[in-house]
Amino acid sequence: MKMTGKILAIIAFSISLAGCAEQAQTPVCQPLSVKSKFLTNADGDTVVLRGVSYGWSNWWSQYYNKESVCWLKDDWHCTVVRAAMGVEPRRGYLNEAEESVKLVEAIIEGAIKSGIYVIVDWHSHGIHTDEAKQFFGSMAKKYADCPNIIWEIFNEPVFQSWDAVRDYSIQVIDTIRTHSPNVILVGSPHWDQDIHLVAKKPITDRENIMYTMHFYAATHNDTLRNRCDSALMSGIPLFISESACCEANGSGVIDLDEWNTWTNWCETNKISWVTWSISSKEETCSMLLPSASKTGNWQPTDLRESGTLTRDKIRELNN
């Protein structure tokens, strides 16, 4: 019996060590919060996240897997990825909710495994309050204790007024807060361009929220930056949850000078940014060529020019 006890103790100790080793190999994200206009970690230090967004989940589902997330962390040095869950289009959440959630959860699990942050993006252009509350309520409950997640509750309002977006956002924020204290990203009107409207009437009685702005370097320039500067002066916390080096339609030319101006502006103002997109669509902002595998291990010959530029920039700044 004594020998059996020793053996059992050794086995139990070995299992414990194995578990600790596995835990030690998995980086752990600190909880994030919003202090003044900055994203901060548990020590109160300002955090700047840099990474990429997956393309619409309903069209580019093949890349929605843990392996591709791990590749983006290890090879591209991303500290954040964005799961852009399509809502309205065919195969989006409104008509294929279960499959849409599975795709998002694959990215979440990849981010947890890799020890990076993940933006759960309600990738919609319209207001669907009940459906959004159902989705975010369920996800926030399931991942209530997961510090990796940032909730993005409205990708790009297009025709809605700020009052309408604001009212919708408050309802969804309150749904999430039932379970999760994590940072929430709130969209602004007109493709996330009208941040000046937000500055005039921000959401003042909810914590840990930031407002999204999107830029496409070959279309947006000083006019939008000046608008953002004014919002920042008003104390509005900004997060760039989508951007690209090309034109706003996703195609056209690459404006490298403006791209560098924008990324330098982000660094100066300590603003996190995410670039669009991990997909193999025939367009400038799509970063992959059809030769790219579904699970990462992408070679230079698998990347479009925008993919190479994005990878190089993230590796440089996340060094």
Task: Kindly give, in sequence order, each residue whose CB lies less than 8 Å from that of residue 138, ignoring residues fewer than 6 positions away.
Answer: 101
Rounded to 5 degrees, φ, ψ at 52 are: -135, 160
Query: Which residue among the candidates 22, 67, 242, 283 is catalytic per the annotation?
Result: 242
- Whether 317 contacts 267, CB under 8 Å: yes
* Plot region of 277 (φ>0 → left; ψ -120 to 50 → alpha; else → beta): beta
Q: Is 88 a catalytic residue?
A: no
Q: Is 156 a catalytic residue?
A: yes
| Pairing verdict, β 33-35 and 38-40 | antiparallel
**Dihedral sign for Cα atoms in the order 211, 232, 277, 145:** negative
Q: What is the 3-state secondary structure (H, E, C) of the chain?
A: CHHHHHHHHHHHHHHHHHHHHHHHCCCCCCCCEEECCEEECCCCCECCCEEEEECCCCCCHHHCCHHHHHHHHHCCCCCEEEEEEECCCCCCCCCCHHHHHHHHHHHHHHHHHHCCEEEEEEECCCCCHHHHHHHHHHHHHHCCCCCCEEEECCCCCCCCCHHHHHHHHHHHHHHHHCCCCCCEEECCHHHHCCHHHHHHCCCCCCCCEEEEEEEECCCCCHHHHHHHHHHHHCCCCEEEEEEECCCCCCCCCCCHHHHHHHHHHHHHHCCCEEEEEECCCCCCCCCECCCCCCCCCCCHHHECHHHHHHHHHHHHHCC
Query: Which residue among the candidates 156, 267, 283, 316 is catalytic per the annotation?
Result: 156
Q: Which residues are catalytic?
A: 156, 242
